[in-house]
Chain A
């Protein structure tokens, strides 16, 4: 289990190689890479161009929150390896923001746990996006769809 919060970009291939190195129980690795999009769709139709994105976070709490989410994934699925790398600072469209990778003996657990981690880190880890647009700076608002996606995994 590894969580990293960093300003620098990451090398997906190198990260995955390190994650699985020496562990031959892993039969499937599910990977999510989040990128900065050049457009932000607001209210379903209005599109703003994005020149850059600045991610602010809460050092200390961010790491704790991500570790909690990762631990929860390990409680729910039989996982062999998990990795969350999340960047902060200024990024331009096309740049990588986040990497989530999950290794398990079987693909079902890897796919599900990867989706779970992405859904929960969006709503439970203290990151905030500030967009730099031609009309000025704009804080990104929370999305109802993200809340709904995270809620699917709440235990009833």
Chain B
């Protein structure tokens, strides 16, 4: 990019696909951009996926390009383990304080992994939705960017942490790192704070208490090559291969008792995940229970059509409303009424995947800015006032392509604020 530096700077909060896109779109036309991300890596939810739909290519592909563009762009400054603490000012002139949490690992890290070798403490692996554990000194995931280890605050002050320091040949671990606060002055802020999966434990009739009932995001981790099973879909209770699986659509979405809205991506996600199973287990029978299959647009419709033609995939119109477990075999029986035939259907499968929906991260924790929210916690941007714009799944449930488009639009809105102030 050869554009000259333009006047004004933008803060992007959230380093998922929307935040990355907004950052790059604004920086590549010449604006200074600060990107802050609370995780120790960029890439957000997309980094946790095995494949994108509908192209079925791994997200690392698209993320790598974005990371390359970030590295190449001198106008982008990004901070991981960072959170916005406070904001004051008005459109065109915001003073922002950002807290940088210690990583305890500096830029000398070569990712040799010696610290992990000596560390004995196991901590839940959040990147894998706690399916497995990781050591107290760890790399968030194989494709993490920045490619640098992290020492968990959980082991700070323990002998384990000291062992890590001793094991590091490169003097890369610094247990004395303290939280820092930095001040930024920016003209516009883009909130790309993203989403989290709906807490399946709140759904009391879909068997979340059984080990062989998992969520769709857990399924991504099982299927992903850098996941807890190295990409092999195995059932959690005994690690056995599967021959029958059920997908339970609208697990908490389109439901006044949970999320009243459609989470938009879950139908395509389950259709996509059916292909994961299909690929690994050509004989496996796949049952998808749905209210309506929402595969919007010509490309998704085509994807759905191909799935429908698969003789091992059965689409049943009827929401699963009861799930049982056989205590000895740990098999799962899902119960629905087939609304086309009017008969009750019971399918016994080895595992069931709940297609849980999207909850904006802003549903529980409000952002430190003057923002409005809809009743479900999504941010409602005041486009007329300008200055602050939400994008991606902070605004509404979106797929990756729509997030990219939305983020590009919001980058333009942010630039308009800079230009007009």
Partners in one complex: no
